[in-house]
């Protein structure tokens, strides 16, 4: 079955992963800018990373018939140093013009700190000034519900951001309703043994429906699974969900949300 994985960090994955994803039906992915597992020492390190995301990685993906899109930001884990964060944010407008960049992300909070919130607000300002889609990371370590509310408040405080142009990722059972109620899109990240498992995701679809909701693998350099999305499809089928429900969460919904950016070129045929 054809699908889109809207959040996966392919710079950390091998070509074998691209091959297995293509075999499982993946036709497009979107890759938010994120933490590399260590703190970069200068804005130049981010500049090189942004070039990798916009120049090299799309070519690597294309070899497997997968379209590669990306999002620009400095992630919340490296946002404590406001000076560095501002140097990196100054690079972003130039990269927003690249043909595979869909917007600003994954921005958000990690420890819900004051500096993280300041950098988040400045990213929201960039998205507003350049009319960009937003992809949001919500905290795993500190209070997720509190962090999710702080992020939604910051977006609403900006006053110009349409919530239907914002996807709030890493939602769980206790945050999904609050996100949907405020008009945002919600993403569930499927991890083998932390975050949401394919089984828990299926439970959440059964409780909250499929409107404005999608799944992703968020595969990265840690213990994660680039085939988590098709594994969730198998779980949904096993439970008797119809094929069109799976098509909604992993095809129609990503097409609708991502298609709000005219650069997103995947067609519904």
Nearer to Zn ion, 29 or 96 (CB): 29
Nearer to Zn ion, 117 or 218 (CB): 218
Long-range contacts of 48-55 (CB under 8 A, 24+ apart): 49/11, 50/91, 50/95, 52/11, 53/11, 54/95, 54/98, 54/100, 54/101
Q: Three-state SS string across 124-185, please?
A: HHHHHHCCCEEEEECCCCCCHHHHHHHHHHHHHHHCCCCHHHEEECCCCCCCHHHHHHCCCE
The footprint of Zn ion (CB under 5 A) covers 34, 218
Least Cβ distance, residue 12 to Zn ion (angstroms): 10
Helix (H) / strand (E) element for 205: namely: helix 198-208
Q: For residues 171 and 188, is the Cβ–Cβ distance under 8 A? A: yes
Nearer to Zn ion, 92 or 241 (CB): 92
Least Cβ distance, residue 7 to Zn ion (angstroms): 6
Nearer to Zn ion, 73 or 117 (CB): 73
Least Cβ distance, residue 245 to Zn ion (angstroms): 25
Nearer to Zn ion, 140 or 247 (CB): 140
| Pairwise CA distance, residues 66 & 55, whole Å | 15
Least Cβ distance, residue 37 to Zn ion (angstroms): 12
Least Cβ distance, residue 49 to Zn ion (angstroms): 14
Helix (H) / strand (E) element for 29: namely: strand 26-32
């Amino acid at each position: 079955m054809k699908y889109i994985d809207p959040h996966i960090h392919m710079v950390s994955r091998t070509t074998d992963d691209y091959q297995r994803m293509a075999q499982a039906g993946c036709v497009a992915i979107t890759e938010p800018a994120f933490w590399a597992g260590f703190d970069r020492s200068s804005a130049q390190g981010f500049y090189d990373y942004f070039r990798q995301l916009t120049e090299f990685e799309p070519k690597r993906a294309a070899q497997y018939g997968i379209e590669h899109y990306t999002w620009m930001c400095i992630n919340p884990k490296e946002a404590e140093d406001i000076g560095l964060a501002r140097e990196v944010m100054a690079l972003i407008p130039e990269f927003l013009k690249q043909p595979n960049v869909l917007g600003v992300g994954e921005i958000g909070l990690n420890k819900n700190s004051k500096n993280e919130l300041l950098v988040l607000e400045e990213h929201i300002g960039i998205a507003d000034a350049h009319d960009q889609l937003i992809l949001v990371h919500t905290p795993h370590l500190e209070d997720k519900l509190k962090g999710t509310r702080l992020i939604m408040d910051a977006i609403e405080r900006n006053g110009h951001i349409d919530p239907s142009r914002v996807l709030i990722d890493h939602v769980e059972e206790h945050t999904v309703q609050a996100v949907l109620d405020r008009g945002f899109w919600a993403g569930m990240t499927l991890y083998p043994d932390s975050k949401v498992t394919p089984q828990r995701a299926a439970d959440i679809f059964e409780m909250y429906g499929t409107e404005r909701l999608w799944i992703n693998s968020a595969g990265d350099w840690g213990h994660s699974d680039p085939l988590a999305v098709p594994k969730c499809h198998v779980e949904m089928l096993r439970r008797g969900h119809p094929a069109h429900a799976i098509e909604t969460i992993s095809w129609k919904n990503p097409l609708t949300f991502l298609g709000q950016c005219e650069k997103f070129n995947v067609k519904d045929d």
